[in-house]
């Protein structure tokens, strides 16, 4: 005979075990789901924060190759590599020089014009993968024509250690900053070209007005000189009194020969006035000719005091100028003075 109490205890333990098994069966899939989803979420977060190295920058510039190439040459010669800095130094690397080749990059054989900007003995430049030594920092620009009105520009940056010769790619900061500098130059030139066209138009209108005025001054005396000559025979035939009165006009025609002198002096004075409007002299102690109208732009050359420059464009703080050698650039307004 089975004891009722033992039966009851057994039944309760059985039901308790089944309950635990059911709860375990429900928790196992949930646990597996958490185990599967947690790594994928972490990987996605890590992928979002991952930095890409060595991809460089390729852009299509809607301008002719010649213009882009000129600006890239200017930027390559400005002596500054942006988007990086040396250990505990300025927000850029200075002391760079333009070059036609570099052993840090493999030889380029895909066409276009290749220009390099090289900085030797760079100390631990930032934004390069695992860099931490002294070496050579190089930016490579490749300018390739894309039809007549478009240009493909490619920019890459590498850092090579001097001791181990290990090459470290950029994370894209250098390429982006260098292109920003190039873009600002291109925009400034486009503004300069538009305003230069407008200034040329105004100068041509001004010169046309002055030439018309000069022509009127030259032509006006001519009829006065011819009229007495034609009337001279008539005055002789009519009467001596009238002849006496009409003879002076031919005599008065004698001053018509020196008449161009005052006109010439007037034109000369007009030319001087025009020169004062469109030309300036470099003040003491000299001033830099910049590649763009901002202080951090590269210096194209240093102009000595008294150097004459032609004003092509005027802005509130800068002049777009041209030297006698044909070099175009920008100068601050307070670095120039009027002609004497």
Whole-number pLDDT of residue 298: 78
pLDDT in tens, 50-87: 778 889 999 999 999 988 998 899 899 888 999 999 87
Asked if residue 112 lies in contact with residue 143, where contact means CB atoms within 8 angstroms, the answer is yes
DSSP code of residue 312? E
- Distance, first Cα to last Cα, the chain: 135
Average pLDDT for runs of 10 along the chain of length 340: 49 56 49 46 50 90 91 89 84 91 94 96 90 91 94 96 93 94 85 74 79 72 47 43 44 42 58 75 93 79 92 84 88 90
pLDDT in tens, 85-100: 987 677 889 999 999 9
Asked if residue 82 lies in contact with residue 42, where contact means CB atoms within 8 angstroms, the answer is no
Cis peptide leading into residue 285 (ω within 30°)? yes
Asked if residue 337 lies in contact with residue 305, where contact means CB atoms within 8 angstroms, the answer is no
* Averaged pLDDT of the chain: 76
Whole-number pLDDT of residue 26: 43
Whole-number pLDDT of residue 155: 97
Contacts of 330 (CB under 8 A, 6+ apart): 188, 289, 290, 291, 292, 293, 297, 318, 319, 320, 321
**What's the CA angle centered on 115, arms 111 and 116, to 5 degrees?**
130
Q: Which two tokens stand for residue 182?
A: 């190039």
Phi, psi of 100 (to 5 degrees): -95, -10
pLDDT in tens, 166-214: 999 999 999 999 999 999 888 877 877 777 677 777 778 877 887 787 7
Asked if residue 101 lies in contact with residue 116, where contact means CB atoms within 8 angstroms, the answer is yes
Asked if residue 305 lies in contact with residue 284, where contact means CB atoms within 8 angstroms, the answer is yes
């Amino acid at each position: 005979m089975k004891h009722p109490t033992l039966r009851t205890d057994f039944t309760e333990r059985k039901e308790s075990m089944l309950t635990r098994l059911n709860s375990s069966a429900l928790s196992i899939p949930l646990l597996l789901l958490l185990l599967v989803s947690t790594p994928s979420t972490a990987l996605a977060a890590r992928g979002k924060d991952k930095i890409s190295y060595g991809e460089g920058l390729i852009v299509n510039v809607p301008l002719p190759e010649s213009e882009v190439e000129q600006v890239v040459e200017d930027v390559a010669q400005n002596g500054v590599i942006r988007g990086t800095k040396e250990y505990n130094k300025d927000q850029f690397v200075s002391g760079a020089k333009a070059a036609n080749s570099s052993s840090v990059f493999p030889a380029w054989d895909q066409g276009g014009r290749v220009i390099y900007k090289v900085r030797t003995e760079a100390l631990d430049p930032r934004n390069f993968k695992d860099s931490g030594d002294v070496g050579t920092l190089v930016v490579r620009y490749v300018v390739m024509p894309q039809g007549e009105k478009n240009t493909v520009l490619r920019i890459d940056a590498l850092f090579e250690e001097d001791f181990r010769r290990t090459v470290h790619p950029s994370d894209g900061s250098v390429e982006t900053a260098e292109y920003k500098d190039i873009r600002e130059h291109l925009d400034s030139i486009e503004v300069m070209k538009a305003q230069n066209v407008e200034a040329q138009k105004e100068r041509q209108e001004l010169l046309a007005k002055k030439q018309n005025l000069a022509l009127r001054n030259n032509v006006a005396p001519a009829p006065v000189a011819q009229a007495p000559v034609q009337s001279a025979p008539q005055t002789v035939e009519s009467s001596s009194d009238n002849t006496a009165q009409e003879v002076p006009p031919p005599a008065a025609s004698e001053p018509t020969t020196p008449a161009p002198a005052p006109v010439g002096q007037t034109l000369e004075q007009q030319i001087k006035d025009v020169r004062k409007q469109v030309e300036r002299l470099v003040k003491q102690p000299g001033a830099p000719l910049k590649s763009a109208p901002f202080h951090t732009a590269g210096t194209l050359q240093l102009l000595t005091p008294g150097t004459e420059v032609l004003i092509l464009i005027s802005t509130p703080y800068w002049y777009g100028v041209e030297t006698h050698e044909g070099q175009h650039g920008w100068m601050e307004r307070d670095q120039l003075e009027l002609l004497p």
